Amino acid sequence: MIKSGFLVVDGNLTVKIIRTDAADKDSINFWVQSKESGKVKNLTPDTLYIPPFVEENVGGAGAWNDNPIAFEAGTYDIVFAEKGAGTTAERFLGLVPKA
């Protein structure tokens, strides 16, 4: 929802995706989205807001260290996909409502 030029969301609906090594779950590779993960593309813009991939929050839109957020409370399947590897990988995130 956009209100007076600003996105209005419920901070209780944030989504946190953290990538670890399977053998060492205490070692964090990155969280989505961050400088380390690179830009994450939104697969479901109707259900999920991913802040812009910028270092500083401009105009209240968020920055790369801010959490993605669901627009509405509900039950979702979370989709995280990665194409490629390392710093050149493309990453995608989506929230698909369960029927």
| pLDDT per position as a tens digit, 6-45 | 677 788 899 988 888 889 888 888 888 888 888 999 999 9
What confidence score (pLDDT) does residue 4 get?
40
Please answer whether residues 91 and 82 qualify as being in contact, where contact means their C-beta atoms are separated by less than 8 angstroms: yes
Please answer whether residues 97 and 81 qualify as being in contact, where contact means their C-beta atoms are separated by less than 8 angstroms: no
Determine the 3-state secondary structure of 18 from DSSP. Answer: strand
Confidence of residue 70 (pLDDT cuts 50, 70, 90): very high
Strands 90-97 vs 40-42: parallel, antiparallel or unpaired = parallel
Higher-pLDDT residue of 71 and 56 is 71
Structure tokens at 93: 């995130």
Backbone angles phi, psi at 12, to 5 degrees: -75, -10
